[in-house]
Structures are given as C-alpha cells and as structure tokens.
Amino acid sequence: MLTILHKQLLNDYQQDFPLSPTPYLDIANSLGITEEEVLVAFSALSEQDFISRIGPIIQPNQLGISTLVAMAIPEKHISEVAEVISQFPEVNHNYEREHHFNLWFVLIAHDQQHLTHVIKQIEKQTNFKTMQLPLLKDYFINLGFQLNLEPQEENFPINA
C-alpha cells in the first residue's frame, strides 16, 4: 500500500531534494525517522515504478548546445536502433512515440561541431536519417504533482 511516508517523500522531494553530502540523512532528520527508513521507502517506490530515478533535472541548453532529435524507424528495427542511440553518452530522454517519427531523444554536446559529429555517428551506425528540432523558445512546465496525504484505501501495494 502507498503509505503516508511514501506520499510525503513524493510530495516533498520530487522537486526539492537536498543538495548535500548526506541527502537521505537530511530527509530522515526532517521527518523524524531513520536514514534506513528513508532508503527502504525510496527503494520500494522505485521497485514499484512510482519513481524512475533520483537525480537533477538540468536544462540541456545550460550545459552547452542541445537539440531534440526525431527519427522514423520501421517497427521491426525500433529496439535495436534505440539501443544503439542510448549507448551515446550525449543522448538522454530516448523514447518511442506513436507517430511516423517514432523515436525521439535529446542530444547534448559541448559545441555545435561535436553535436553534428554525434548526429552523423548515429545516422551511420543506425542507417537511418535524423531530424533535428533545436529549441527556439524555452517553456517551463512544472511536472510536480501533490498527492493527498489523508489515509485511504488505495490499490497501490508497496512492499516496504
């Protein structure tokens, strides 16, 4: 079951995770529980796919140069092409979509020359063309969601 602790961790730390050498201890101290309890709760949330990772969200264009890339890949090749693309450290957010352009990812490089080089390598290794969609206007979308902390029956079993 999704407990009040799980909901509190999701509500309070999906956007304001402590930046310190001991973030889990800091969270534990703020909640009046042990660091081990925090780690067990986050582990359970991860195992049940309530969270996919804990880490920073950095605007790609703040790290150098970035572009959104789309590719039209035949369904029978989508997994192998996605695997090749995901091997590049410059690639993140590699997702399949229901569209003619069905594979989308963000590419980040330190400069335009390196970005172009990586695009050419991806095209060479996959034998498929890319379509680059560079950021023209930045929009901020807050993807934080607050959960109701009231105890209630829920169909979200958590083993922790």
Residue given tokens 């310190």 in the structure block: 20
- Topology of 60-133 in CATH? Alpha-Beta Plaits (3.30.70)
Q: Is the model more confident about 26 or about 52?
A: 26
Looking at residue 29, what is its pLDDT? 97
108 beta partners: 66
pTM for the complete prediction?
Answer: 0.57
Q: Please answer whether residues 90 and 105 qualify as being in contact, where contact means their C-beta atoms are separated by less than 8 angstroms.
A: no
pLDDT, the chain, mean: 87
Q: Is the model more confident about 134 or about 121?
A: 121
Instruction: Check whether 158 has a pLDDT greater than 60.
Output: no
Q: Is the model more confident about 46 or about 57?
A: 46
Q: Is the model more confident about 27 or about 154?
A: 27
CA distance 73 to 96: 10
55 pLDDT band, cuts 50/70/90, is confident
Provide the Cα torsion 118, 124, 128, 132; round to 10°.
Answer: 20
What digits encode the pLDDT tens for the residues 80-92? 999 999 999 999 8
Q: Is the model more confident about 142 or about 34?
A: 34
Looking at residue 155, what is its pLDDT? 46
Instruction: Check whether 119 has a pLDDT greater than 80.
Output: yes
CA distance 155 to 94: 30
150 pLDDT band, cuts 50/70/90, is low
Give the C-alpha distances (Å, rounded to integers) separating 54 from 18, 45, 50, 57, 79. 11, 11, 11, 10, 25
DSSP codes, 21-54: S-HHHHHHHHHTS-HHHHHHHHHHHHHTTS-S--
